[in-house]
């Protein structure tokens, strides 16, 4: 094929893979039932110049390009289209620079989130965005989807920490966007435009991120609830009290049981739903904030609540929150939602999710970054049960509709990818969608960057 000839001409021989078994393993991300096809090649570049050479080869032959990080996405954003080149950035995994004075780091896109956090900790610094996939997901993928995580309720999402980018554009140019300074308003903010664009506007080859000083140890507050709606009322109570915890997570009994069965962590909870809050304010003020959060849990209807005095137990509960999705996957296919609603609407949204599960006879487990209204209901189906799959997909659509009805959005952090395109059409006005299409046409005039995704 012409594109293989071009790639082999422009790149070292070991960068291009055509083995069918390997290609199949790179053809999709973790999104259940999102369509994908067979790529013609996998390219694993080791420099920005090799990314540029790959894009130029694809432009020369009219071949679609699907950029990919670790493949941990849950919306189909990294799924291959027929005859495309999958461009994996996994080999570009160097922390190029840490500047303690400016509190920034320069990293390649294949750096794993937790690896960056560990690296900058040596300098007394901290990178806050922490998606549940942080032990596996890469910074490039986090930037592409504007990933959030547990800390974002207080510290913001990936976009808040991206100062600059190096990007290969849809015309094959290698450009730098953004800055290294604390302030700067020269021209349009093209850096922020790239964040969350899911590989449809350019291929990220380097990221400059803002860092914060290392923070104090956190206090953990735990509450048990009889229902997700009760837990939602506790979240509303916390917001009404003016509290901004460093984390506020919801985990239900299904998730805890699945994690315990998998990892034998000795977890137990005499509750249908557990709220996990954390406070990182120093000293007596932090003690008072933790107690105020516990009181908000009680006001919301907690059957039991406490400020934890057992750090190991608290850490185990938060570890269970991170492990919930892979643990539930062991039970059967899991279709993962990612809606976000205003905090005041959280109790009603959680109640609607429960009702939708009952109406469609689908088991729904709930995890959530509930402090900012970002809910992740997990629709679990038995393997090979096509009828259950159809019911789950119908429930998925109804959950999206419910979130929009309550003033929310179809995706808080996983991205639109393939699974949320129908919901996006409902959320955005035609004029706004036309603006997005115009931006895409300007930056990717050949229409080769991750076609069919995000917009």
* The pLDDT value given to residue 314: 84
Structure tokens at 409: 């959005």
| Residues whose CB falls within 8 Å of the CB of residue 206, separated by 6 or more in sequence, listed in order | 48, 96, 106, 107, 108, 109, 165, 166
Query: How far apart are the C-alpha atoms of 121 and 77, rounded to whole Å?
Result: 31
pLDDT at 265 over 80: no
Mean pLDDT of 173-200: 96
pLDDT in tens, 389-421: 999 999 999 999 999 999 999 999 999 999 999
**pLDDT digits 0-9 by tens, 129-138:** 999 899 999 9
User: Which stretch, 213-222, 269-278, 311-320, has highest mean pLDDT?
Assistant: 213-222
Per-residue pLDDT tens over the stretch 200-210:
999 999 999 99
pLDDT of residue 29: 97
Give the whole-angstrom CA distance, residue 336 versus residue 322.
14
pLDDT in tens, 138-159: 999 999 999 999 999 999 999 9
State the pLDDT at residue 60.
98
Given a cut of 80, whether residue 266 has pLDDT beyond it is: no
Averaged pLDDT, 309-327: 85
Nearest to 356 by CA among 398, 389, 386: 398
d(Cα 208, Cα 410) in Å, to the nearest integer?
28
Distances (CA, A) of 238 to 151, 217, 242: 16, 21, 7
Q: What residue has token string 């750096």?
A: 111
| Model confidence pLDDT, tens digit, residues 116-127 | 999 999 999 999
Task: Report residue 313's pLDDT band, with 50, 70 and 90 as the boundaries.
Answer: confident
Which residue(s) pair with 307 in the sheet? 221
| pTM of the full structure | 0.94
The mean pLDDT value of the chain amounts to 95
Angle between helices 386-405 and 346-359 in degrees, nearest 10: 150
Cα gap 112→134, rounded to integer Å: 7
| Residue 169 pLDDT > 90 | yes
Q: HEC profile for the chain? A: CHHHHHHHHHCCHHHEECCHHHHHHCCCCCCCCCCCCCCCEEECCCCHHHHHHHHHHHHHHCCCEEEECCCCCCCCCCCCCCCCEEEECCCCCCEEEEECCCCEEEECCCCEHHHHHHHHHCCCEECCCECCCCCCCEHHHHHHHCCCECCHHHHCCHHHHEEEEEEEECCCCEEEEECCCCCCCCCCCHHHHHCCCCCCCEEEEEEEEECEECCCCCEEEEEEECCHHHHHHHHHHHHHCCCCCCEEEEEEHHHHHHHHHHHCCCCCCCCCEEEEEEECCCHHHHHHHHHHHHHHHHHCCCCEEEECCCHHHHHHHHHHHHHHHHHHHCCCCEEECCEECCHHHHHHHHHHHHHHHHHCCCEEEEEEEHHHCEEEEEEECCCCCHHHHHHHHHHHHHHHHHHHHCCCECCCCCCCCCCCHHHHHHHCCHHHHHHHHHHHHHHCCCCCECCCCCC
The mean pLDDT value for 322-337 works out to 91
Is it the case that residue 268 has pLDDT exceeding 90?
no
Over residues 25-41, the mean pLDDT reads 97
CA distance 208 to 67: 19
Per the structure block, which two tokens stand in for 265? 């962590």
Strand pairing report for 95-99 and 85-88: unpaired
Between 256 and 69, residue with greater pLDDT? 69
Copy the structure tokens of residue 439. 């931006």
Between residues 34 and 310, the one the model is more confident about: 34
Average pLDDT over residues 408-435: 96
Average pLDDT, integer, range 318-329: 88
How much is the pLDDT for 269?
66
Domains and CATH numbers, the chain: 2-88 (3.30.43.10), 95-213 (3.30.465.10), 216-326 (3.30.70.2190), 332-447 (3.30.70.2740)
In sequence order, which residues have a C-beta less than 8 Å from that of residue 291 and are 6 or more positions away? 307
The burial class, CB within 10 Å (0-12 / 13-18 / 19+), for 369 is buried
pLDDT single digits (tens) 69-127: 999 999 999 999 999 999 999 999 999 999 999 999 999 999 999 999 999 999 999 99
Residue range 155-177: mean pLDDT, rounded = 98
Where residue 407 falls (left for φ over 0; alpha for ψ -120 to 50; beta otherwise) is left
Instruction: Kindly state the average pLDDT of the residues 226-231.
Output: 92
Among residues of the chain, what percentage have pLDDT more than 90? 88
């Amino acid at each position: 094929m012409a594109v293989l000839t071009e790639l082999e001409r422009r790149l070292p021989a070991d960068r291009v893979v055509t083995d069918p078994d390997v290609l199949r393993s790179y053809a999709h991300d973790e999104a259940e039932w999102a369509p994908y096809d067979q790529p013609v090649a996998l390219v694993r570049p080791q420099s920005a110049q090799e990314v540029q050479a790959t894009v130029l080869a694809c432009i020369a032959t009219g071949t679609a390009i699907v950029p990919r990080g670790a493949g941990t996405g849950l919306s189909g954003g990294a799924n291959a289209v027929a005859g495309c080149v999958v461009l994996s950035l996994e080999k570009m995994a160097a922390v190029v620079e840490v500047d303690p004075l400016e509190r920034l780091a320069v990293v390649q896109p294949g750096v794993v989130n937790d690896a960056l956090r560990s690296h900058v900790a040596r300098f007394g610094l901290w990178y806050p965005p922490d998606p549940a996939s942080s032990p596996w997901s890469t910074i490039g993928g986090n930037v592409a989807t504007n990933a959030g995580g547990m800390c974002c309720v207080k510290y913001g999402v990936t976009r808040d920490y991206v100062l600059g980018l190096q990007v290969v554009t849809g015309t094959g140019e290698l450009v730098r966007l953004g800055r290294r300074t604390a302030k700067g308003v020269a021209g349009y903010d093209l850096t922020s435009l790239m964040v969350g664009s899911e590989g449809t506007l350019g291929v990220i080859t380097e990221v400059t991120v803002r860092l914060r000083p290392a923070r104090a140890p956190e206090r953990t507050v735990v509450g048990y609830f009889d229902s997700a709606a009760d837990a939602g009322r506790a979240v509303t109570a916390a917001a009404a009290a003016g509290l901004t915890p460093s984390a506020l997570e919801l985990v239900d009994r299904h998730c805890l049981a699945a994690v315990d069965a998998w990892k034998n962590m000795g977890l137990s909870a005499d509750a249908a739903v557990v709220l996990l809050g954390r406070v990182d304010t120093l000293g007596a003020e932090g003690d008072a904030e933790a107690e105020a959060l516990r009181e908000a849990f009680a006001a919301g209807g907690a059957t039991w609540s406490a400020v934890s005095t057992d750090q190991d137990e608290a850490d185990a509960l938060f570890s269970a929150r991170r492990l919930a999705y892979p643990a539930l996957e062991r039970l059967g296919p899991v279709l993962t939602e990612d809606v976000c609603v205003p905090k005041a609407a959280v109790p009603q949204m959680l109640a609607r999710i429960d009702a939708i599960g009952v109406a469609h006879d689908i088991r729904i487990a709930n995890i959530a970054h509930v402090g900012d209204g970002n809910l992740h209901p997990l629709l679990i189906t038995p393997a090979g049960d096509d009828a259950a799959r159809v019911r789950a997909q119908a429930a998925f659509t109804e959950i999206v509709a419910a979130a929009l009805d309550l003033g929310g959005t179809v995706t808080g952090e996983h991205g639109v990818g393939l699974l949320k395109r129908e919901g996006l059409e409902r959320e955005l006005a035609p004029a706004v969608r036309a603006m997005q299409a115009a931006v895409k046409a300007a930056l990717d005039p050949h229409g080769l960057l991750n076609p069919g995704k995000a917009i």
